[in-house]
Structure 1
Amino acid sequence: MKNEYPTFRQGTTIEEICEAGNQYIAGEWKRLYEEMHEELMEAFRTIEDAAYGMYLDRLMPAVFDGLIEAGFHVMEPLREDDFVIGQCLVFRSSMEKWGDEDNRSRVFWNVIRDGQGEPVGTLLTDIPHSHLKFEIPTSPKLYALREYGREQISAGIRRVKGEGGRED
């Protein structure tokens, strides 16, 4: 059974956005993972980590569409060389290197702006995954940061994940 898509409204705090997004992900991630598992295992054999992008292309749009429909701005302007998955997850706005090769964590960030373009905070999307086989060992998870400057976001991710990590 499909989970109810998250709904948002202007005036929602970054913490409320995070909570609603996590409720959606918690109810949907495993069902979608099981539904797509064979296709994604086959894709991993040929395109490796890009298979996770295929999964996130199906999981994450509900969160971002809900924010966009409520009038939020969820992405910075894209550059020509940007690589985007999950509709709004940009690789240059991510860090990875937590965990072992079989249980790695990549954290993407999106500065969320209200209808007037003012930042309400940063939404972090933590994607657990394996580099050895197609596996998502635990649910993807969102975190909220009040900060929205690049250095503050990097420091916030390190607080959430522990020291370490590398910016891509």
Structure 2
Amino acid sequence: MKKQLPVMESGMSMETIGEAGNRYIAAVWEELYKERYEQLAQAFLEIEDAAYGLYLDQLMPPLFDRLEEAGFRALGPVKEDNFIIGKCLKFSDSLEKWGTEDHRIRLFWNVIRNERHEPLGTLITSIPHSHLKFEIPRAPQLYVLAQTEREQIVKGMREIMSESGEA
């Protein structure tokens, strides 16, 4: 797979961060999926949903690396028992309440902070997947929220899912 990197710059708004991230994901997700499919399908037989974490471990770090290089921070405090995938996706900061067993959606959230550590908003990463076999039926998607507090983020995610027709 050729290396495609997201373009992130200091001072970007949450909306432009989301747009740049979605352009990156659209450009690389399917080739990465096809390239790693056999390995990940085999892993799914052994570790089930954790195979999607292995996929995100390949897909998401370039996005988070470029955000960091531009002066943003995506990962808040990490506790000893937090499980991190894709460099900055905390399993404890995610929900999976939508879809059927063959088409589930998990949403992760990251409060994005600027170089002064001020919260700018929240980046939501949506990963569609199956619980029956290793399958990602369409590109992961990024959404942005202005909210930065957990309760409001969860409410915003529910609205996103409702508006997308996935709820």
State the Cα distance separating 1:4 from its structure 2 match: 2.8
Gaps of 5+ in 2: none
1:98-117 alignment to 2 at 5 Å?
A: 98-117=98-117
Partner amino acid for 1:84?
A: I
Deviation of 1:97 (Å): 1.7
SS in structure 2 at match of 1:16: helix
Q: Which residue matches 1:28?
A: 28
Deviation of 1:71 (Å): 1.1
TM-score (norm 2): 0.95
Structure 1 SS opposite 2:106: strand
Once the two structures are superposed, the pairs formed by residues 145-164 of structure 1 within 5 Å of their partners are: 145-162=145-162
Q: Is the 1:90–1:108 contact (alpha carbons within 8 Å) kept by the matching residues of 2?
A: yes
Instruction: Give the letter for the 2:138 counterpart.
Output: T
The aligned amino acid for 2:91 is: F
Which consecutive aligned stretches of 4+ in structure 1 deviate over 6 angstroms post-superposition? none
Provide the rounded CA distance (Å) in 2 between the counterparts of 1:51 and 1:95: 17
**What corresponds to 1:73 in structure 2?**
73
Paired position in structure 2 for 1:139: 139
Equivalent residue number for residue 44 of structure 1: 44
Q: How many residues align?
A: 164
RMSD of aligned C-alpha atoms? Answer: 1.4
In 2: Cα distance, 1:9 partner to 1:58 partner: 22
Alpha-carbon separation, structure 2, partners of 1:9 and 1:32: 25
Match of 1:126 in 2: 126
Q: 1 CA distance for matches of 2:2 and 2:19? A: 18
Give CA-to-partner distance per residue, 1:75-132, whole Å, 9 cap, x none. 1110011011111100110011200000000000000000000111100000000000
> Could you tell me how far apart the structure 2 residues matched to 1:55 and 1:45 are?
15
Per the alignment, residue 97 of structure 1 pairs with 97
1:77 alignment partner, SS class: coil
AA in 1 matched with 2:101 = E
Cα distance in 2 for residues equivalent to 1:121 and 1:79: 22
SS in 2 for 1:81: coil
